Amino acid sequence: MMFMEDHNMEFFDYLFEDAAPGDLILVYGPPKVGKSIFCYQFLYSSLVGGEPCLYIVADYGSRQLEQRMMEFNWFLRPYIQNGDVYIIDLLTRLAGVKVEDSGTLKFSSVQNLTDLMVKVGVSTRSLFRKSSKFRAILDSLTVIFAFNPPNLVLRLLKAYKARISEARGIGVVVHTTGTVEPSIENSLMELADLKLCFDGEKIQAESSAGEKFVQYTITDKGVKNIRG
């Protein structure tokens, strides 16, 4: 998987070497440890490397996504305009803003998971036709869990994983630990093929191949490896 800076590629290659097309990756940990920044980096590196992407924005609006990425000099607008990134915005309508779908920017709701999955299906099929490789990111589950029964959210994630797998993409889901019951978190872990746990100092990667970790820090260029 290609990331923006050559000196950082080994770091990401190491984390993702056990991931394969069709896999679901769970990025999780406490608040404010860089989970979303990591996903912005994952998204942008995909686009720079020529892979289209789906980004589901659940905790803030699509405009906020662009603004947050610009803080790291990652400019999303050109990729939106040329159709390389599909965005599904789940929060703008909930805030009472009247918006309409346009091009590859779609609006749904955290309260309507059926509509969300219809739009995920349409987007993944379009991405599959566009490229043999793509990435999909759901950032994050916090508000979705707040508005829906946990078992319904788990069914959503199973469907999300199935859509990604069918199209041979790689899917990411972001979860903040401690926001749901431990039994639900255990179910999330079981759904994931690769788990990346962020604690503010290290990322622990766990898959069927075993466990490993890297030290990291957050800079104005994103999540970076601290070499020992």
What pLDDT tens digit does each residue of the chain (228 aa) get? 444 444 455 667 788 888 999 999 999 999 999 999 999 999 998 899 899 999 999 999 999 999 999 999 999 999 999 999 999 999 998 888 889 998 899 999 999 999 999 999 999 988 888 888 899 999 999 999 999 999 999 999 999 999 999 888 999 999 999 999 999 999 999 999 999 999 999 999 999 999 998 999 999 989 998 874
CB 79 within 8 A of CB 85: yes
Prediction pTM value: 0.93
**Cβ(223)–Cβ(37) under 8 Å?**
yes
